[in-house]
Every structure is written in structure tokens, then in C-alpha cells.
Amino acid sequence: MKTLKITKRVFHEIAVFATGLLFVSPILFLFMNTFKTQQEMFDSFLSLPQSFYFDNYIQAWNGMHYLRAFFNTLIVTFGSVSVIIVFSSMAAYRIARSPAKWASIILFFFILVMMLPFQTIMIPLMQVAAGLSLTASRFGYILIASALFCPFTIYLYRGFCKQVPIEIEEAAKIDGASALRTFFIVVFPLLKPVTITAIIINTIGIWNDYVLAMLLLQRRDTITLTISVVQYVGRYSMEWHLIITTLAIVILPIIILYLCLQNSIQNGLLAGSLKG
């Protein structure tokens, strides 16, 4: 019996390791090939680089104007995620605490919006954005991206908000705290697990966004990394060593962010599955 348990455990460990290797291997091959010359790429995609060839990074960095695109991406991502977290948490808490039927109706409409493909609202959305002079500006992108990403975040927050003890709010009210102060000082810190999860999910979504950025940020001084990659790849469509290096330096910040916060993400998703 004990031998059978050990065998099952070893089999499970091997299966987990093989599955992890399956998902990680494309990223490993991606970064491995960034150190190859063009000739090495054509010779074998799967072989190790003969030497560490860093000129690919220098050419990709300068060719796609990485710093300018990086800071544009950082600005719109930070701005959008900040707006999403603040307004989604407040809306979700109000919906979770309200006994009225309108709260459930509003939540239904938020869920309905999540089901609509972006392509179905793309043209009227751009017409409204043009009428409000929100095109070709980072501010306009932040407003529209926040509106598009808020429904999912509200749904994510709602399950956590329902678990916050109402006695904590009543104690804050007795002490003279306003509703807004009660939320940000007392309630919001208790939502830390889902907040970190929401930050990561929305950051990845906005950082990797291409369609909305292509529609709104077409000026040279406002383009993001995804647009810069497409423009750069268009000039070097046959030079795979530069294309792969460009992709690597774009996804590297997100990989680092995820590795730093992976425990918080897992805890937040696990808590959400139990509380939602």
C-alpha cells in the first residue's frame, strides 16, 4: 500500500513537471534564440547559441525606440489600472451591499458587457471617441480602456466585498467616519488579495493590448510597445533574430512582474474561488 502511494506521488510529480515544461519551453526557446545570429537561426531553431550575441538587443532597442514606447505603455497601463481599481472596487462594494433589485440588474448588465466582442462596438466607440476628441491621446485611451476592463474587475471584486463583515463599517460610522472614508480606510485594505489579482490581470491585458492602442494611439510620440513591435517587424519581416528579440524585450517586464507577485496572484484567485 505504501509503495503504491509513493508510485502515485512520483507519477504526479512527473506529470506536473512535464506540464510545466510544456508551457515554459516556448518562452525558453524564445529567449535562447535572441542570442543567435541570423545564420544560426536559419541553421537550427532548437539548438543552443554558439555564443552570446548581444547585438540583437542593441538593434531592437534602438530600432523600435524602446524607451519611448515603454514609457507610453507604462503611462497608459498605470493610469488605466489605477482608474479601474478605484472605481471597480467602489462600484462592486456598493452593488454587494445594496439590498435593492437594481443592484442585481446593474451587475447583470456588467456581465452582459463582458460577453460582447470588442469588434461589435469598435466602430461606434471610435465615433464617440472622435466626437469627444479622445483619439490620438493617452488620456482618451485611459478612459476607454478603463471602461472596457471595469466590468470584469467589478465582478471579481463583488465576491470579496460580500464577505467583509458589516460590523466593521458600523463601528467606523459610530466613530464618525463618512461612507467614503469608511470604504478606503476600513474596507479597501481588506480587499488586498483580490486587488493584487485585479492589478496583474488588468496590467497584462492593457500592456499587451494592440487593437485599442492601434485605434487611439497612432501618433509617433504616443505609440505603445505592441504598435512599435508591429511597425518594427514590418521593416524586418525576414530577419527572425531581430523579430524574436523584439518580442522578448516587450514581454520581459510582464514576466518579471508576474514572478514577483505570483504568490499573491495565486492566493487571490484561490480566495476568490472560495468566496465568490
Length of the chain: 276
Please tell me the predicted confidence (pLDDT) of residue 17: 79
Please tell me the predicted confidence (pLDDT) of residue 237: 60
Distance CA 34, CA 42 (A): 13
Going from the first residue of the chain to its last (276 residues), give the mean pLDDT of each consecutive group of 10, the final group possibly shorter: 69 80 81 81 75 82 87 93 94 85 82 83 87 85 92 87 80 79 85 86 89 85 87 70 83 81 65 49
Please tell me the predicted confidence (pLDDT) of residue 77: 94
For the four alpha carbons of 218, 221, 226 and 228, in that order, the dihedral sign comes to positive
Q: Are 60 and 69 in contact (CB under 8 A)?
A: no
Domains and CATH numbers, the chain: 70-224 (1.10.3720.10)
Please tell me the predicted confidence (pLDDT) of residue 271: 56
Q: Find how far residue 45's CA is from the centre of its chain.
A: 29
